[in-house]
Chains A and B, each alone.
Chain A
């Protein structure tokens, strides 16, 4: 067991867990930030996508040890204080989610794209989103929603 100081969604959290515990379990089961999902545990599905210093990362393969020296972690809960990120609005406008389980990861992955590239091409979107699986098959609408959001001003809340 060790104590880690984490910087999550703009707040400092202290957590006691075994060394090497994945950030995914820390977020979900210890801190109750359950919007970040478990899908595969091996960086293949993207359900656990979060931002670390603004970069999209797969929490399931990140040991907590690696993100406890001041890195800014953002989860879906912290993407926008009111849940009004342009992508979240676009997701509602386009009625993207079906079961919804993959969608936090999809939105986090897309948010990182728009933060760096406000008007990505279709190919750029597809390449960027290719690591995020959706079993319900909502890809057509994900694409549409990202294109829609890209038509707007995008500001990304990166933790504080």
Chain B
């Protein structure tokens, strides 16, 4: 094998310098940062030295145990298993010996350059983790394997070329010698040069043992017995508690009028003013919650104070009608002309209300600033970010290297935990009490009313059809606030439509907005897929056949369509009172088709989804069952948002406050079955975490059209709206 080699110079060569009472310096190979271990605690040092850091990605101990670092957040998407599996695959590790830990939060070492920003970033969002780390972790695993082989060759005094590895051992087939990885660790020498493996020098995918083969998820046992630690579970000696009272109107400024009374309440230590909130620090959780309920605050007006979410749709319509500045997202061919000269024109408006993340663990963080103010430590469930120190250095005006982040399991992210507002708040509180750790808790009401929502919008779609029933022009304009949050999913790259135009008309409202699982794909794919069915329906064509023609140039998309059609028995007649609907989406590189079967209670307006089938091409799949779990969960979350979820805002104030008035889908409403298929592919891995959710709206609306001949065009499809559509 020929490798290009990278020299291991003094910064990436592993050496131990042990000094009594001083500092032990461990330098790992292949782009590793030196790790300084304080020698104040000798047993700690001894323990660390027994866990030899082989490269920045892996620690090994002499008993053969291997710790592989996971650089990503674990929020249920399975990164704690799938990323280490990629590494272990190329390393030829014995999976039984593998333990997984979160990596340190140091972007230069553990970041992925898959964000196209020119620098390495640690961020678990946009379903990009597997995609971003796949090649990097394969190469890193191969380098660890190389180091172990190099050492076996050295010990046996044979050329490395004759060696192979299997199941955590190095083998020499000539001599029949075999040594376990663990036995190489003690006197491990890192070679002068370590190859930079090219992709073709890595394992042949047909030899994969872990990639494409289900491993039980490493985080699951702890999630069945209460021992999995989320940030909200962190309890430290002397820990204080903090809460904030934020306004119901985003941007309103508080004036506290009863601070004396609050300070007299049991266990209350400090009040902290924020621009948008009043913070309380106290000894116990029940103290701060009691005080929070007693606060008397006058709130200023804000930009959002005049905003009413129901009324704004009329304004959106007016804006849609008018020629107005718009941000062009897609421009292919001459859509205006195609529409003008079309034999038939289709036009419809679609609406979607705000939705809230509702991750089950309300936001929280624990921060401790050292008594001398020189360093800070935080325990956070975060989707990380462009700044891996989560904004703490800025709040404290501190060198980022002095900020230590202990990433915890996330009780759901869905985009909300890629904001760091809650971490900054906790840091501001912690500044009041140097030396003491403080846990900031958001109540569910805080989490909801001070949410950052998926934007509401109105979508105006127009499509021109020629005399052969071919779509010649497709125009899609989104009106709303949120800029690029509105744009994702607006492209139709897998449909053969010669002229396409898509644009955003932005109207700022001052409401906090954020990526929400699938981002713009939810609303945009709903509108696009509904329009496709509307056209097929009017032309008397079968929705799947109609899409087959549209997908003539996109065989991979077509394969998902055909698979989902076959799974669902599309061509078989439906039971009385039932109908099927289909939708296709692409998200984060994954192509998916979903089909659902519904029935309707015409008296109540309640739609029931009986079955949901999906077929996806996600490239190489690391952990198939986990991909299926993501699709299942995504579809359930999609159903929840499509049937139940809406935030409404009156005079700037969020009208809902908890799960009694912001309902999520419950078990009573799940389908009888969800079947998910993964299409075999050898393309690079793509993101799947957000692929299920945006499939649902279009599939349901299209099934409703098939069942009733009527259109559902306003998300969510509450029973009242369903009845309204039925009677239209």
Interface string of B121-151 (1 = CB under 8 A from A): 0000000000000000000000000000000
A102–B112 Cα distance when bound, in Å, is 31
Interface residue ranges of A118-160 to B (CB < 8 Å):
125-127, 129-143
Given contacts A34-B235, A100-B409, contact A41 B443 (CB under 8 A): yes
Task: Flag whether A83 is at the interface (Cβ < 8 A).
Answer: yes
Which one of A1, A21, A77, A132 has the highest number of Cβ atoms from chain B below 10 Å of its Cβ? A21
The residue among B223, B634, B637 with the most chain A CB atoms within 10 A of its own CB is B223
Interface string of B221-248 (1 = CB under 8 A from A): 1111111111011010000010000000
CB within 8 Å of A: which B597-646 residues: 625-626, 629-630, 632-637, 640
Contact of A40 among B284, B414, B444, B633 (CB under 8 A): B444
Complex: chain B residue closest to A47, CB-CB = B360
Q: Is the CB of A42 within 8 A of B660?
A: yes
Neighbouring B residues of A29 by C-beta, 8 Å: 235, 241, 284-285
The answer to the question of B530 belonging to the interface, with a C-beta cut-off of 8 Å to chain A, is no
Are B223 and A97 in contact (CB-based, < 8 A)? Answer: yes
Interface presence of A88 (CB below 8 A): yes
| Residue B359 is within 8 A (CB to CB) of chain A in the complex | yes
Cα–Cα, bound, A22→B360 (Å): 19
Determine if A136 and B76 form an interchain contact, defined as CB atoms under 8 angstroms apart: yes
Query: Interface of chain A, helix or strand or loop or mixed?
Result: loop
Residues 32-76 (chain B) with a chain A CB within 8 angstroms: 75-76
Contacts of B382 in A (CB 8 A): none
Set of chain A residues within 8 Å of B626, measured between Cβ atoms: 95
* Known contacts A126-B667, A138-B629; A88/B660 CB under 8 A: no
By beta carbon, the residue of chain A nearest B689 is A98
Measured between alpha carbons, how far is A142 from B674 in the docked complex, in Å? 13
Do residues A130 and B226 form an inter-chain contact, with CB atoms below 8 A? Answer: no
Are A139 and B636 also in contact (CB < 8 A) when A99-B76, A101-B230, A129-B667 are?
Answer: yes
Quick check: is B309 within 8 A (CB to CB) of the other chain?
A: no
A76 at the interface (CB under 8 A from B): yes
Smallest CB separation, A153 vs chain B (Å): 18
Cα A17 to Cα B284 with chains together (Å): 9
The interface-forming segment of B23-31, B212-220, B519-527, B677-685 is B212-220
Taken together as a complex, chains A and B put the C-alpha atoms of A43 and B411 apart, in Å, by 18
**Is A39 within 8 A of B360, CB to CB?**
yes
Indicate if the CB atoms of B667 and A139 lie closer than 8 Å.
Answer: yes
User: Residue-by-residue, is A88-109 near B (CB-CB < 8 Å gives 1, otherwise 0)?
Assistant: 1001100111111111100100
Which residues 350-370 in B have Cβ within 8 Å of A in the complex? Answer: 358-362
**When the two chains form their complex, are residues A141 and B632 in contact, meaning their CB atoms are under 8 A apart?**
yes
Residue ID in chain B nearest A29 by CB atoms:
B285
Residues of A within 8 A of B284 (CB): 17, 25, 29-30
Q: Are A135 and B637 in contact (CB under 8 A)?
A: yes
Contact B411 A44 (CB under 8 A): no
B412 within 8 A of A: yes
Contact of A135 with B235 in the complex, beta carbons under 8 Å = no
Q: Are B225 and A44 in contact (CB under 8 A)?
A: no
Q: When chains A and B are docked, how far (Å) is the Cα of A143 from the Cα of B284?
A: 38
Decide: A45 and B659 in contact? CB cutoff 8 A. yes
What are the interface flags for B380-410 relative to A under an 8 Å C-beta threshold, 1 for contact and 0 otherwise? 0000000000000000000000000000011
Chain A neighbourhood of B636, CB < 8 A = 134, 137-140
A132–B360 CB distance below 8 A: no
Q: How many whole Å from B465's CB to the nearest CB in chain A?
A: 37
Residues of A1-42 whose CB lies within 8 A of B:
1, 17-18, 21-22, 25, 28-30, 32-42
Tell me if A75 counts as interface (CB < 8 A to partner B).
yes
Q: How far is the CA of A139 from the CA of B220 in the complex (A)?
A: 16
Contact A137 B225 (CB under 8 A): no
Q: Note all chain A residues with C-beta closer than 8 A to B413.
A: 99
A60 to chain B, nearest CB (A): 10
Q: Is the pair B668, A75 in contact by a Cβ cutoff of 8 Å?
A: no
Other-chain contact of B360, A32, A34, A133 (Cβ < 8 Å) = A133
Known: A40-B658, A100-B76, A139-B636. A18 touches B266 (CB 8 A): yes
Asked if A99 meets B226 with Cβ closer than 8 Å, knowing A44-B660, A127-B668, the reply is: no
Which of A47, A126, A136 has the most chain B CB atoms closer than 10 A to its own CB?
A136
Interface flag for B670 (CB, 8 Å): yes
Cα A134 to Cα B667 with chains together (Å)? 9
Residues from chain A with Cβ under 8 Å of B219 in the complex? 97, 100
Contact A103/B224 with A41-B444, A143-B667 known, Cβ cut-off 8 Å: yes
Residue ID in chain B nearest A122 by CB atoms:
B672
Report how far A125 CA is from B66 CA in the complex, Å: 41
CA distance A143 to B78 in the complex (A): 20
User: Knowing A18-B266, A100-B411, A140-B632 touch, does A76 contact B226 (C-beta < 8 A)?
Assistant: yes
CB contact between B629 and one of A28, A77, A98, A101 (< 8 Å): that residue: A98
List chain B residues, Cβ under 8 A from A92.
216, 220-221, 224
Per the bound structure, the CA–CA distance linking A79 and B632 in Å amounts to 28
Give residues 395-453 of B contacting A (CB, 8 Å). Answer: 409-414, 441, 443-444
Which residue of the partner chain, among B226, B659, B671, contacts A104 with CB atoms under 8 Å? B226
Asked if B225 and A88 make an inter-chain contact with CB atoms under 8 angstroms apart, the answer reads yes
Q: Given the complex, which residues of B lie within 8 Å of A47, measured CB to CB?
A: 360
Enumerate chain B residues within 8 angstroms of A103, measured Cβ to Cβ: 223-224
**Is B286's CB within 8 Å of the partner chain A?**
yes
Q: Say yes or no for B568: interface residue by CB 8 A criterion.
A: no
Measured CB to CB, the nearest residue on chain A to B287 is A18
Task: Output the nearest chain B residue to A87 by Cβ-Cβ distance.
Answer: B224
User: Which A residue sits closest to B81, measured CB to CB?
Assistant: A95
Known: A101-B411, A101-B412. A34 touches B226 (CB 8 A): yes
CB distance from B631 to the nearest CB of A (A): 10
B330 at the interface (CB under 8 A from A): no
For B664, the chain A residues whose CB sits under 8 A away are 133, 135
Query: B324 an interface residue at 8 Å Cβ cutoff?
Result: no
Contact A100/B633 with A25-B286, A37-B411 known, Cβ cut-off 8 Å: no
Contact of A135 with B629 at beta-carbon distance under 8 Å, contacts A98-B77, A99-B76, A100-B228 already known: no
Instruction: Please give the distance in Å from B615's CB to the nearest CB on chain A.
Output: 17
Q: Is B666 an interface residue (CB 8 A)?
A: yes
Name which of A32, A40, A104 has the most chain B CB atoms within 10 A of its CB. A40
Q: Which of A37, A97, A98 has the most CB of B within 10 A?
A: A98
Inter-subunit contact A141/B659 (CB<8 Å): no
Q: A47 to B77, alpha carbons, bound, how many Å? A: 20
Q: Are B632 and A142 in contact (CB under 8 A)?
A: no
Knowing A18-B286, A77-B225 are in contact, say whether A138-B633 is a contact too (CB < 8 A): yes
Kindly provide the distance from the CB of B625 to the nearest chain A CB, expressed in whole angstroms: 6
Contacts of A102 in B (CB 8 A): 360
Q: Is the CB of B224 within 8 A of A141?
A: no
Residues from chain A with Cβ under 8 Å of B224 in the complex: 83, 88, 91-92, 96-97, 103, 107
CB distance from A27 to the nearest CB of B (A): 11
Q: What are 19 A-to-B residue pairs whose CB atoms are below 8 Å? A: A21-B286, A25-B286, A29-B241, A37-B230, A39-B444, A42-B658, A42-B659, A45-B360, A45-B659, A75-B226, A79-B225, A91-B220, A97-B219, A98-B630, A99-B410, A100-B219, A101-B230, A136-B637, A138-B633
The 4 closest A-B pairs by CB, nearest first: A35-B226, A137-B636, A98-B76, A101-B411
* Known contacts A45-B659, A101-B411; 19 further A-B pairs (Cβ under 8 A): A25-B286, A32-B235, A33-B226, A39-B361, A40-B658, A41-B443, A47-B360, A75-B226, A76-B225, A83-B221, A92-B224, A98-B77, A99-B409, A100-B222, A101-B360, A130-B666, A133-B360, A134-B360, A137-B634
